[in-house]
Amino acid sequence: MDPLAAFNLLLLLAMGHFVADFGLQSDRMATEKCPGQGVVLGWGWWLCAHAAIHGFVVGWLTGVPLLGLAEWLVHACIDLGKCRRCYRMGLDQGLHLLCKVVWVLVAATCVPLQG
């Protein structure tokens, strides 16, 4: 993958992250995805659903479902750390965006993307 294509993919993944984290996440999901907060459904269901949205976006934009699965798992772990107050919103978002850099590097070096 050429550098411009990699940069463009990174931009799309970053934009997709903010759409999924702020546009597609309801207030209920944002609250109830944390342990002890599940009212309608258990918190694990909310967290799984939220992380799955992110996984879908990454899988869709990269064309690599396994990267989507990796995003799904890592996103859930990062959000769980935030829910448990291990860190705050700024570090949470930084970790999520760092993952996007990793996905681009993996896609650029290991996975031949078709364009």
| Confidence (pTM) | 0.92
Residue with tokens 């970053």: 14
State pLDDT tens for residues 37-80. 878 889 999 999 999 999 999 999 999 999 999 999 999 999 99
Confidence category of residue 85, pLDDT binned at 50, 70, 90: very high
Structural domain contains residue 115: no
Quote the number of domains for the chain.
1
Structural domain contains residue 18: yes
44-51 CB contacts, 8 Å cutoff, 24+ apart? 47/76, 47/79, 47/80, 47/83, 48/76, 50/25, 50/75, 50/76, 50/79, 51/75, 51/76, 51/79
**Domain that residue 8 falls in:** 3-110
